[in-house]
Chains A and B, each alone.
Chain A
């Protein structure tokens, strides 16, 4: 079945540094990928929609200059958390759908990245 690979699974960084998270669709192409954020024992909150070859669409309240998204190819989207602060510590998870399947394709999630900013 469709697989979404996300890397790294865990990262610890110091305040002020930047962290890049990669999301790859391994056996399908996705013109659109979605980035979610999940706090402990909370729901998944959509941060942004990553669009291949164009700018990402950010949800209200999400700083586009802080959470840089690049969707360089049909199988790769990256999220860079710039100048990270402790309050950015969270579980970040990407998801994608096979574009060929469209309506009939379920949304597949990566394994997530647990970011801890010290």
Chain B
């Protein structure tokens, strides 16, 4: 099955700096890569996603890049703010009908933005 590895496990940055979280996946057939933000005791919230036919996607301060050849994808947060502090999870799934495919999650990155 799919295996998703995520690094780093913790990341501390100063407010205004950029943060980068990286993930690798094992299944070359995976074609959907979302990123979730989870605050303590709350549900994961989708913040951005990318599909395998796209190399990069950006939404305001958040961007995701995908390298299919190397099987890795990254989350980039620019101009970080204290409210960005949370645990971030990458995930991957495959299949044409991804409605029936579960996500495999990375181990998570605890991001702390120091004011």
Contact = CB atoms under 8 A, between A and B. Distances in A.
Interface residues of B, number: 24
Interface in A52-105: 93, 95, 97-99, 101-103, 105
A107 interface: yes
A101 B98 CA distance: 10
B20 interface: no
B79 to A, nearest CB: 25
Nearest to B36: A109
A106 B96 contact: no
Interface in A28-47: 30-32, 34, 41-46
Contacts of A108: 46
Contacts of B98: 97, 102-103
Closest 6 CB pairs of A and B: A109-B43, A44-B105, A102-B99, A34-B102, A43-B107, A106-B46
Interface of A: 30-32, 34, 41-46, 49, 93, 95, 97-99, 101-103, 105-112, 114
